[in-house]
Structure 1
Amino acid sequence: MVKTGTDNRVKKLALAALFAALSYIGFQVFRFDIPVGTEKTAFHLGNTFVALGALFIGGAMGGSAGAVGLTIADLTSGYATSAPKTFILKLLIGLIVGLVAHKGFKINEIVEKKKLVLATVCSASCGLLFNIIADPLVGYFYKQYVLGLPQEISEAFAKISALTTSVNAVASVVFATVLYLALRPVLKKEGFLH
């Protein structure tokens, strides 16, 4: 017979693997590339599953899962130069969403629907607002100082990245909220949430 603690860790690990795969699919399948000079950016739904993972299994595990999934997506889709930046930023999105959701709102204990919606939207928004600011800023310095691109190209890319990151963030907050609210009762019933 499997011990309860071991069973919970296995369930959490299985969900982490699922969220890594969903983050990858969210980027690979639901992506629209925008070329910028020698580089490119994209509209995508990968961040949805980083936030969703953090809401369901916590910031560290959910953020790690999303970071792994989106880093692999970068490495396999022509965004390899962005992979290190992606890993760090996606991990931070997950950590922020998880911190706000689980430490701030104690989301797993909320039973009232309005409070749950508010907690979900606020938690996802905090992580993705961080990304709206950090992605273009980190991208600018990363492209200029690590990749050695000219300042003008790095600056142009940062401006376009700010737009795509903002659109991605809004879409991710909406989709993560809808999916979380739809899936939470099922996962709770099956013993995946504690």
Structure 2
Amino acid sequence: MLHYNKNSLQAIIMTGLFTALIYLGIFIFRIPIPALVGRPFIHFGNTLAILAVLFLGLRNGALAGIIGLGGFDILNGYALTSWLTMLEIAIVAIVVSSIMKLMRYNDSKRNITIIAVAAGALKIITSYCTSIAEALMVGTSFKAAIVASFFSLPATVINSISTAICVPLLYFLLKRIFKTIGRRHS
């Protein structure tokens, strides 16, 4: 985690930067996947949201994820279900932050990999629940919603695998960059 007051100008700027990166991580790189429920696609927004929580902490990281992912949904035809996306990222942020706290903020390669895999697995669960809610919102029966949501998971599974792989790689690269920048400004 970056070490500064979460209300400082630096924290606000970093939160805004991560928000923009999350939005762009979805907007620029998006591959639609056919599904029975919703309009899922492969993207890097989840990976970047996890990184935001790891670097900015629960409050600012969740805020960046909620605004980045939720804002994308609102501005790109998913407004009716954007609240589900925001709820999902809040849950994932709380879990990631809790795991990091349980690990006493030790960001070893092993621990960051565990967090990335846990976040990816949790995203599969939350996305499945979100798909069920989306199906129910349009009048699908509960049984049909469960089945259709299950068959709509391929994009989520790909995104989750991507998160599990990319978070550790990007975390340590960004950590090195932030340290270099921090030394220049000290």
| Shorter-chain TM band | 0.7 to 0.9
- CA distance in 1 between counterparts of 2:133 and 2:49 reads 24
> Which of 136, 147, 171 in structure 2 is aligned with 1:180?
171
Q: Secondary structure of 1:161's partner?
A: coil
Q: Please say if residues 85 and 139 of structure 1, whose CA atoms lie closer than 8 Å, have aligned partners that are also in contact.
A: no
- 2:70 matched to which residue of 1? 71
Instruction: Please report the TM-score for the alignment, with normalisation by the length of structure 2.
Output: 0.84
Cα RMSD for the two superposed structures: 2.5
Cα distance, 1:6 vs structure 2: 6.1
> Which of 130, 136, 143 in structure 2 is aligned with 1:138?
130
Counting aligned pairs with the same residue, the percent is: 23
Q: Please say if residues 37 and 148 of structure 2, whose CA atoms lie closer than 8 Å, have aligned partners that are also in contact.
A: no
- CA distance in 1 between counterparts of 2:26 and 2:4 reads 33
Cα distance, 1:60 vs structure 2: 2.5
> Which of 121, 132, 148 in structure 2 is aligned with 1:129?
121
Instruction: Please report the TM-score for the alignment, with normalisation by the length of structure 1.
Output: 0.81
Q: Please say if residues 50 and 93 of structure 1, whose CA atoms lie closer than 8 Å, have aligned partners that are also in contact.
A: no
1:112-148 CA deviation, whole Å, 9 max, x = no partner? Answer: xxxx11111111222221111121123203421x332
Q: Please say if residues 121 and 173 of structure 1, whose CA atoms lie closer than 8 Å, have aligned partners that are also in contact.
A: yes
- Read off the aligned partner of 2:152 and give its amino acid letter: S
Cα distance, 1:37 vs structure 2: 5.3
- CA distance in 2 between counterparts of 1:19 and 1:9 reads 15
Q: Please say if residues 32 and 42 of structure 2, whose CA atoms lie closer than 8 Å, have aligned partners that are also in contact.
A: yes
Q: 1:140 to 1:182 in 2, by over 3 A?
A: same
Cα distance, 1:33 vs structure 2: 1.3
- CA distance in 2 between counterparts of 1:127 and 1:38 reads 22
- Any gaps of 5 or more consecutive residues in structure 1? 111-115
Q: Please say if residues 37 and 152 of structure 2, whose CA atoms lie closer than 8 Å, have aligned partners that are also in contact.
A: no
Q: Please say if residues 71 and 84 of structure 1, whose CA atoms lie closer than 8 Å, have aligned partners that are also in contact.
A: yes
- 2:110 matched to which residue of 1? 118
- CA distance in 1 between counterparts of 2:144 and 2:25 reads 27
Greater strand proportion = 1
- 2:8 matched to which residue of 1? 9
- CA distance in 2 between counterparts of 1:20 and 1:173 reads 20
Q: Secondary structure of 2:33's partner?
A: strand
- CA distance in 2 between counterparts of 1:166 and 1:7 reads 33
- Read off the aligned partner of 1:58 and give its amino acid letter: G
- 2:57 matched to which residue of 1? 58
- CA distance in 2 between counterparts of 1:125 and 1:174 reads 8
Q: Please say if residues 61 and 93 of structure 2, whose CA atoms lie closer than 8 Å, have aligned partners that are also in contact.
A: yes
1:53-80 CA deviation, whole Å, 9 max, x = no partner? Answer: 0110112221221111011111222222
- 1:113 matched to which residue of 2? none
Cα distance, 1:83 vs structure 2: 0.5
Q: Secondary structure of 2:153's partner?
A: helix
Q: 1:178 to 1:78 in 2, by over 3 A?
A: same
- CA distance in 2 between counterparts of 1:38 and 1:5 reads 42
1:136-180 CA deviation, whole Å, 9 max, x = no partner? Answer: 123203421x33245576345412332221110110121121111
